[in-house]
Structure 1
Amino acid sequence: MEFKSILLRHVKMELLNPFTTSVGTEADKDFILVEVKSKSGLSGWAESVSIMEPIYNEETVQTNWHIMSDHLIPILFEADIRHPDDVSEAFRKIRGNFNAKAALEGAVWDLYARENGISLAKALGGVKDRIEVGVSVGIQESEASMLKQIEGYIKEGYKRIKVKIKPGWDVHILKAIRTQFPDIQLMADANCAYTLKDVEHLKKLEEFNLTMIEQPLDHDDIIDHAKLQSQLEIPICLDESIHTFEDARKAIELESCKIINLKIGRVGGLTESRKIHDLCEANNIPMWCGGMLEAGIGRAHNIAITALSNFTIPGDTAPSSHYWKQDIIDPEVSMEDGYIIIPEEAGIGFEPNRSKIEEVTLYSKNFFNQ
């Protein structure tokens, strides 16, 4: 693969509704849009999922820009990249910075699929023609507001409801949801809001027939999650703790979880995502694809990876209209009866709308391969 240039854009888009978790509220989304241009004239696209503050992980939009500009792009131009898998190997000498790595690698994957005339899903080994869609509900101002939102999502056809919880917003809200909606697939996402001292409190959640509780303990923990899982009937799902194949392997061996949420940006890209997928499948650990409030291009990558066989739980892949007044792709991601059709077109299957992208771009920089 021969790269002509790489264009980075700092983009800012306003969310339709503010989204609140135990770590904060987002009303809009800053992110970096990556366009890798080949000498053949085609472009591959991806998004960095980092936000402006280091509250999900240590990366931010600003650190991603620096790492991509000063370290990863020069490496990519110098490396002999014959397949997208070669990108993660070339980046190996740079520690961490998984969001930044994933954005560049994802754009190369899209470019590779376009050059070979196949969908990104098929390039990754996807086997599905459609995926089930779940939705994430942030912490609300009131119980009534939460129940009203969930009722609307059920009517829209979502196959799984995930609600954000934290101390003081957990037992009573889950009880209210379960009372009104006894049969829905329901999960709780704690975003690291609890400790091992809360074991007895977390056991109170067992009566609500939860599909899982996601990341109840520290963001970098595997050991204490194993202790907690041994005392809980609810399956623990790990999110923030899983950055690499090795993290997943250790978590499985220690029985720290029974489910893994995969986020492409969190694990450094699609190549590592496939490795983790295959490991989980071999060990009967079901998976689902988490969301980071991606715009259409990042969402397209999530749809493609979810086409792999072991993504058996509906992911946070809600359609464009759930997040944005206007997305930056054509057509926008749409859902019917709780399903999204996997695109068959080459690459991500959605065309970036350059005029819409320009409207939301704060600044950009082009890097040329000398």
Structure 2
Amino acid sequence: MDTTIRIDSITAYSFRIPLTRSFRISVGEMTVKEGILFEGRSGGICGWGEAAVDRIPFYTTETVGSVLDVSRQVFCPLLLSRSWSGISEIVAALDCYRGHRFAKAALEAMCWDIRGKQGGRSVAHMLGGTRAWVETGPSVGMKPSPAGLVEAVAHELEQGFHRIKIKVAPGKDDEYIQAVRTAFPAVSLMVDANSAYHPADLARLAEWDQYNLLMIEQPFNEHDLHYHAQLCARMTTPVCLDESIETPHLADCAMKMHAADIVNIKVCRVGGLTHTLRIHDLCAKHQIPVWIGSRLGSGVATAARLAAASLPNASFPTDAGAERAYVADDLLTTPLETRNGCELRVPSAPGLGIEVDRARLAACTTHQETQTR
């Protein structure tokens, strides 16, 4: 069997899906999810990947517009230019260009999907995943009042979730965390600041040990490894890095600086599944547990994240699948399988193990363009 990857065409679909309810974090509020799906065709096989970006630079510097532009001008012509011996060769070629990791992650996932379908193997199996099911936990956005947050957390617990993450920021923290902890003293609770705090807040953050948190995620700016290391030294609560971990090199720096007790790997932020695996293995070497983070999006992105969440050192529940509480349509013909309210089956069919519902994608598509050899 020919194991080379020869892509004949790539179609980009810009999509827009209204949220069933708004989602607020420290940097702003979302009421609609926009993003890009890429479909690559190789002979009779098609592969899918998703760029988990937004119309504006809300969460990352990349946007729907920037992903379309760089894929049109650089990445798609590159992938269509020749045959490839494997995923690692494709990643090496993409990494010759600086940045644009969300775009790279989407196109790399598309290639993983094609390669898996060529060989009849799931992406999770090809990565070395060891779990058939992974636990998921919701990310609860900011609410107008502590009582409103308690009500939202209660709703998630009623759905069967065990691990709860709440978003925090200055003015939306101590009173809110205390209210949730008082209402649910035994729940596995973590907080995510999305870089909302400053070094001057370090002493106050250290007082959060009183809340018995599973972890505090990314309290400081993504570039502040030094201050994260200081916080790690002062807290018994584990400090988790997210936005700071963009590359294997930065992960290595964080490990050597003792700036993280836990790492949240976002497949989109690090440039794809290949770099996710490298960071996973590096953290395992340093005995630092990881978990696989998520962003609001469709089931295409979720499938790639579940493959990563099946890896052996992915020790904490993933956010993958949490978007079903906010995104009205996952764009899949068959929803991802769930059990016990808080577990998702890792797709085991070849490739990403999902099928896109083309009619529903067409209904959500705002722009479409195709490049061919």
- Does the 8 A contact of 1:187 with 1:211 survive in 2? yes
Once the two structures are aligned, what percentage of the paired residues are identical?
34
More displaced stretch, 246-255 vs 294-303 = 294-303
The structural deviation recorded for 1:116 is 0.9
Which residue, 149, 154, 164 being the options, matches 1:151? 154
2:364 counterpart residue number: 360
Partners of 1:171 and 1:204 within 8 A in 2: no
Distance in 2 between the 1:83 and 1:184 partners?
44
Q: Specify the code of the residue in structure 1 equivalent to 2:88.
A: D
Per the alignment, do residues 322 and 335 of structure 1 end up closer, same or farther by CA in structure 2, a change over 3 Å counting?
Answer: farther
Q: What's the offset of the Cα at 1:334?
A: 4.0
Partner of 1:135: 138
* Paired position in structure 1 for 2:266: 263
Aligned to 1:246: 249
- 8 Å CA contact 1:128, 1:342 repeated in 2: yes
Q: Matched residues in 1 for 2:68 and 2:257: separation?
A: 36
TM-score (norm. length: structure 1): 0.97
Give the residue type in structure 2 aligned to 1:46: G
- Residue 223 of structure 2 aligns to a residue in which SS? coil
Preserved CA contact (<8 Å) 1:48 1:103: yes
Structure 1, residues 35-64: CA drift from partner, whole Å, max 9, x if none? 01102x111101001112223221111111
What is the alpha-carbon distance in structure 1 between the residues aligned to residue 183 and residue 210 of structure 2? 15
1:87 to 75, 78, 90: 90
Which runs of no fewer than 5 residues in structure 2 stay unpaired? none
C-alpha contact 1:319 1:334 (8 A) present in aligned 2: no
In structure 2, give the amino acid aligned to 1:358.
Answer: A
**For residues 317 and 92 of structure 1, what CA distance do their matches in structure 2 show?**
26
Distance 2:180 2:112 in 1: 40
Structure-2 separation of matches of 1:189 and 1:48: 22
Q: Contact 2:6–2:82 (CA<8 Å) still a contact in 1? A: no
Q: Deviations over 1:318-364 (max 9, x none)?
A: 35642233320021124221111122211112210000000000010
- Separation in structure 2 between the aligned mates of residue 75 and residue 268 of structure 1, nearest angstrom: 16
In structure 1, the partner of 2:354 is 350
1:187-226 matches, cutoff 5 A: 187-226=190-229
Check the 8 A contact 1:196/1:228 in 2, yes or no: no
What CA distance in whole angstroms lies between the structure 1 residues aligned with 2:30 and 2:337? 23
Per-residue CA deviation, residues 116-145 of structure 1 (Å, 9 max, x unaligned), is 111111111111110011110000122222
Q: Is the 8 A contact 1:320 1:332 kept in 2?
A: no
The letter of the residue matching 1:3 is I
Residue 204 of structure 1 deviates from its aligned partner by: 2.3
Q: Distance in 1 between matches of 2:82 and 2:135?
A: 38
Asked if the contact 2:296–2:323 (Cα under 8 Å) also holds between the matched residues in 1, the reply is no
- Give the one of 12, 23, 28 matched to 1:24: 28
**Contact 1:178 1:208 (C-alpha < 8 Å) held by counterparts:** yes
The residue that corresponds to 2:286 in the other structure is 283
Equivalent residue, structure 2, for 1:293: 296
- Choose which of 41, 45, 50 in structure 1 pairs with 2:48: 45
C-alpha contact 1:319 1:335 (8 A) present in aligned 2? no
Counterpart position of 1:168 = 171
Query: Measured at CA, do residues 8 and 181 of structure 1 come closer, stay the same or move farther in structure 2, by a change above 3 Å?
Result: same
User: Any idea what the Cα deviations from partners look like across 1:292-340, whole Å, max 9, x if unmatched?
Assistant: 1021111111111101111110010235642233320021124221111
Is the 1:79–1:90 Cα contact (8 Å) retained in structure 2?
Answer: no
SS in 2 for 1:237: strand
Q: Which secondary structure state, in structure 1, belongs to the residue aligned with residue 231 of structure 2?
A: helix
Distance 2:61 2:69 in 1: 14
Q: Which amino acid aligns with 2:372?
A: F
Distance in 1, matches of 2:96 and 2:171, equals 43
1:14 aligned to which of 7, 14, 18: 18
CA 94–101 in structure 1, closer or farther in 2 if over 3 Å, else same: same
Deviation at 1:209, TM superposition (A): 0.6
- SS of match in other structure, 2:8: strand
Distance in 1 (CA, whole Å) between partners of 2:101 and 2:326 is: 24
How far 1:367 sits from its partner (Å)? 0.4
Alignment coverage as a number of residue pairs: 368
1:101 to 81, 99, 104: 104
The TM-score normalised by the length of structure 2 is 0.96
Structure 1: stretches of 5+ with no match in the other structure: none
Displacement of 1:79 after TM fit? 4.6
CA distance in 1, matches of 2:242, 2:366: 31
Contact 1:4 1:37 in 2 (8 A): yes
Equivalent residue in structure 2 for 1:178, among 164, 172, 181 = 181
Alignment match of 1:63 (pick from 54, 63, 66)? 66
Other structure's SS at 1:3 match: coil
Letter in 1 for 2:63: T
Q: What does residue 317 of structure 2 align with?
A: 314
Could you list the runs of 4 or more consecutive aligned residues of structure 1 that deviate by over 2 angstroms after TM superposition?
Answer: 318-321, 323-327
